[in-house]
Chain A
Amino acid sequence: MTASSTASSVLPPGFAEIPPMSGFGRAMGPWYEKTENGKGILGFRAGERHINRLGIIHGGMMMAFADVVLSEAQRRVTGRPSVTMRMAVDFVSPARLGDWIEGVGEVTRSTRNLVFVRARIWRGKHTLMTASGVFNFIRPRGEDGKPLPEQE
C-alpha cells in the first residue's frame, strides 16, 4: 500500500463510490459523489496514476474529471444521455499527489438538441479549474444497436 492510497482511506463525509461504468472510468477511478442542494458533487483522491513526473495532477486527468463533472450536471437536470461536443478549461491552480479534489457543474441552458454547462473544480478553498461544455443529446440505442423511439 502506498502513502497515497493510505490517505485515500479517509473519505470526506457524504461521499459514496460511483460504480465504474467504463474502461477509462475504471482505470482512473474510483470516483465519488454526494448530493448537496440537489446537485451532484463529484470527488476523487489524487493517486500516483493521476500525476505526471513532476508530482502534479496531469492536465489530461483534470480535463477528464471536468468532462465527467459537466456531463453529470447535465444528466441530473435533463435525465438524457449526451456526448461532449465542445469543452473549454482554464487551469487556475495545480493539484498534487494526495489531494482530495471536488467538482460541481451547473446547467446554464438546455435546448432541444444541446445543453450548456459550466463547472468549477477545487481543493479546499482553492479553485483548481474552471470549465464549460456544450453537450449534444443522443438517442439511446436498443440491444440491436438501433436508436430507440424518442420519448416525450
Chain B
Amino acid sequence: MNEASALPADIPPGFRLIAWEGVTFNSTNGPFYLKHEDGDVALGFRVEQRHCNPAGILHGGMMMTLADMTSGFGTSIKAGIDKFMPTVNMTFDFVASGRIGDWVEGRCEVLKVTRSLAFASVMLTTQAGPLLRASAVLKIPSGEGLRWKRAPLIG
C-alpha cells in the first residue's frame, strides 16, 4: 500500500495528512489535512461526533482550533517565516454551525508583517458557505524562538 492510498476517499483533492507524532492536542483531535499548491494554502478536517457539543453541532473549540492552525500555517507559509509563532490574540464571529460529516476548511490572508508581529485574517467554510470569521495576531519571536520541526505530510 502506498502512502497516498492511506488517505480516506472523502478527503478533497490536493489535501495531505499532517502526520504529527506522539500524543498531542492535534493528534488527539485530528486528523487534520493541509493543501499547499498553486499558491493556495488551506487546512481542513471532517467533522465527527467527537468534535461536537451536546447539541450535536461542531464545537466552537474545534472551529477555533482550526482557525488558530490556519493562521499559524498560513502566515508561516505565505510570509515565509520558518519559526514557531505564538498566538497573541484571536477574535471570532461564529456565523453558521457545522454538522457531522461536514468538510471544514480554513484559509488565511496575511494583512501585515512587522518586525515582531503578524496580522492575519482567517475564514472557515463548509460546502454550505462561511462558518467562522477570525482575525489573529501572531508574535514573531526575536532570534530563533522555540525549536521545532515541521510535521511530515502524507498523501
| 9-residue interface stretch from A32-40, A50-58, A104-112, A120-128 | A50-58
Looking at the complex, which one of B49, B53, B64, B86 makes contact with A87 (CB distance below 8 Å)? B64
Task: Determine how close the nearest CB of chain B comes to the CB of A120; give it in whole angstroms.
Answer: 15
Q: Assess whether B25 is in contact with A60, with CB atoms less than 8 Å apart.
A: yes
Measured between beta carbons, the chain B residues less than 8 angstroms from A26 are: 50
With contacts A59-B68, A87-B60 taken as known, whether A53 is within 8 angstroms of B22 at the C-beta atoms is yes
Task: Determine how close the nearest CB of chain B comes to the CB of A31; give it in whole angstroms.
Answer: 12
With contacts A21-B54, A61-B25, A88-B90 taken as known, whether A67 is within 8 angstroms of B65 at the C-beta atoms is no
Q: Assess whether A67 is in contact with B84, with CB atoms less than 8 Å apart.
A: no
Task: Enumerate B42-88 residues with CB–CB distance to A below 8 Å.
Answer: 48-55, 59-62, 64-66, 68-69, 84, 86-88
Measured between beta carbons, the chain B residues less than 8 angstroms from A61 are: 25, 61, 65
* Residue of A with least CB distance to B50: A23
Looking at the complex, which one of A24, A54, A86, A91 makes contact with B51 (CB distance below 8 Å)? A24
CB < 8 Å A-B pair total = 125
Query: How far apart sit A57 and B86, CA to CA, in the bound complex (Å)?
Result: 11
Measured between beta carbons, the chain B residues less than 8 angstroms from A52 are: 24-26
- Determine chain B's interface SS by DSSP, over half rule: mixed
Assess whether A11 is interfacial by the CB under 8 Å rule.
Answer: no
A interface residues, tally (CB under 8 Å): 35
Measured between beta carbons, the chain B residues less than 8 angstroms from A88 are: 89-92
Q: Assess whether B24 is in contact with A84, with CB atoms less than 8 Å apart.
A: no
Spell out B's residues near A (CB within 8 Å).
Answer: 20-26, 28-29, 48-55, 59-62, 64-66, 68-69, 84, 86-94, 97, 146, 148-149, 151
- 10 extra A-B contacts, CB within 8 A, seeds A23-B51, A28-B29, A52-B26: A24-B50, A24-B52, A50-B25, A52-B24, A52-B25, A53-B149, A54-B148, A67-B64, A83-B97, A84-B92
